[in-house]
């Protein structure tokens, strides 16, 4: 599905990002696995190479525009162009009600989960514009569709990602670039298992959140990665500006 396509993935050191990187490589893509944690990015690349795939690691802080520009330039220098990107790097909510959240906590989530996506989209569009187009997938969330308690920072950021995706799709369309968002439900990753599910505030709401996933369970990273792959591929050639729900019915 992605044979010989060059794909950048941020947040590729763990969770959905790592699974996506491995999935794309198995489909024939050449992957740039970017992560703030350089050792984690290296580990993802090692997994891909050990399975016969092609990948390069890159440390990237998505809140630093110069770092993002350098990541994209690295990919273009290494492979000659980029065909696709998944802007997946993100952090969880602060798990505080809006009246208890500090400005620093708010900015931390917005900077990574929204502004970081903007920087990536900007520089990916510039690179794709120069080489004939491509496909960009932004990781939003079911929280971009509806809210949960103690999540005003995360909910605002993910609603922002959906709005950014729509507007960027309009701007990028003349250059043959499609921009879509994917909206996972709660997915079983290191972040959700090790941090959110162990947070007393979040754990109180956990059963209710599970029940709102009408399929009756949380998502697996492979289910999200497969949907991302479709959006990156030519099979989705008539889709742009969309927000694809992969959330077990959470948003119904």
- Contact indicator for 127, 74 with CB cutoff of 8 Å: no
Assess whether 119 carries a catalytic annotation: no
- Region of 216 please: left (phi>0), alpha (psi -120 to 50) or beta: left
Q: Where are the domains of the chain?
A: 6-187+221-240
CA 248 to chain CA centroid, Å, is 18
Determine how β-strand 177-184 pairs with β-strand 243-246.
parallel
| This prediction's pTM | 0.93
Give 6-187+221-240's CATH code, choosing from 1.10.357.10, 3.40.50.720, 3.40.50.300, 3.30.420.40: 3.40.50.720
In order along its 252 residues, the chain shows pLDDT tens digits of 999 999 999 999 999 999 999 999 999 999 999 999 999 999 999 999 999 999 999 999 999 999 999 999 999 999 999 999 999 999 999 989 999 999 999 999 999 999 999 999 999 999 999 999 999 999 999 999 999 889 999 999 999 999 999 999 999 999 999 999 999 998 888 766 665 566 666 666 667 777 788 998 889 999 999 999 999 999 999 999 999 999 999 888
Quote the CA–CA distance of 112 and 78 in Å, as a whole number.
Answer: 26
Of 24, 79, 119, 154, the active-site residue reads 154
């Amino acid at each position: 599905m992605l044979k010989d396509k060059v794909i950048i993935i941020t947040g590729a050191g763990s969770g959905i990002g790592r699974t996506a990187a491995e999935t794309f490589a198995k489909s024939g893509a050449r992957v740039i696995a970017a992560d703030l944690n350089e050792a984690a990015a290296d580990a993802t690349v090692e997994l891909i190479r050990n399975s016969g795939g092609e990948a390069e690691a890159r440390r990237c802080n998505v809140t630093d525009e110069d770092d993002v520009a350098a990541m994209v330039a690295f990919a273009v220098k290494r492979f000659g162009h980029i065909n696709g990107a998944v802007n997946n790097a993100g952090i969880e909510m602060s798990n505080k009600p809006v009246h208890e959240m500090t400005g620093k906590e708010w900015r931390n989530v917005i900077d990574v989960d929204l502004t970081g996506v903007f920087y990536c989209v900007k520089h990916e569009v510039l690179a794709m514009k120069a080489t004939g187009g491509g496909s960009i997938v932004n990781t939003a969330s079911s929280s971009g569709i509806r809210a949960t308690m103690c999540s005003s920072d995360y909910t605002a950021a993910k609603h922002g990602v959906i709005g950014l995706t729509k507007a960027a799709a309009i701007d990028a369309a003349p250059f043959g670039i499609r921009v879509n968002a994917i909206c996972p439900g709660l997915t079983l990753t290191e972040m959700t298992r090790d941090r959110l599910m162990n947070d007393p505030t979040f754990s109180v709401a956990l059963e209710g959140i599970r029940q709102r996933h009408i399929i009756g369970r949380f998502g697996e990273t492979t289910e999200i990665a497969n949907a991302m792959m479709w959006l990156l591929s030519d099979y989705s050639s008539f889709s742009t500006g969309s927000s694809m729900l992969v959330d077990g019915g959470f948003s119904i």
